[in-house]
């Protein structure tokens, strides 16, 4: 039976968008222009704002690496991994978005290791798969170096 694709968190991105249109979705306060990700749909968290309507806003597709790390040990639940399979480390990237002036964390695209990253390097947002169960393919976002595999020869 084919698995149904589903976003790991509803409303954080459009799971049907192609790579060129794929964006994280935050919200923006109409009164003060403050931007929130993960999205705030109930209240504006700017203490100087009386509170306005919050509208959906796509975030920048490109950013620069604020920092990065990886996971050499299996994280506990609710992270999903096959306990019988040998653990494969994955990479986490914190990315600074210039327009939004915020840092957004994400897993790196599969195959990207810490050796492929450096602070300040440009990355782009790409759609990805977090895990699969019997019925669903759980979709997520990944950060990917713009020139994948590039290493600086020092």
| Residues in touch with another protein (CB under 8 A) | 8-9, 29, 32-38, 45-48, 66-73, 75-81, 90, 92, 94, 99-107, 114, 118-120, 130, 140
Question: Which residue, 22 or 36, has its beta carbon nearer to another protein?
Answer: 36
Closest contact distance (angstroms) between CB of 70 and another protein is 5
Q: What is the DSSP string of 130-147?
A: EEE-SSEEEEEEEEEETT
Phi, psi of 116 (to 5 degrees): -90, -5
Minimum separation from the CB atom of position 71 to another protein (A): 6
From the CB of 97, what's the least distance to another protein, in Å? 8
Q: Residue 147 contacts by C-beta under 8 Å, 6 or more apart in sequence?
A: none
* Shortest Å, Cβ 105 to another protein: 5
Residue among 2 and 82 whose Cβ is closer to another protein: 82
Choice between 17 and 115, CB closer to another protein: 115
């Amino acid at each position: 039976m084919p698995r149904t694709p589903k976003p790991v968190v509803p409303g954080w991105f459009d799971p049907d968008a192609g790579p060129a249109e794929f964006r994280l979705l935050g919200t923006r306060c109409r009164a003060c222009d403050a931007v929130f990700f993960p999205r705030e749909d109930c209240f504006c968290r700017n203490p100087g704002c009386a509170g306005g309507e919050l509208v959906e806003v796509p975030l920048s597709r490109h950013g620069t690496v604020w920092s990065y790390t990886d996971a050499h040990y299996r994280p506990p639940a609710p992270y999903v991994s096959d306990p019988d399979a040998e653990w494969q480390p994955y990479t986490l990237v914190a990315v600074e978005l210039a327009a939004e002036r915020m840092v957004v964390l994400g897993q790196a695209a599969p195959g990207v290791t810490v050796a492929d990253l450096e602070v300040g390097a440009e990355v782009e947002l790409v759609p990805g798969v977090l895990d699969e169960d019997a019925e669903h393919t759980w979709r997520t976002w990944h950060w990917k170096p713009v020139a994948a595999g590039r290493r600086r020869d020092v």
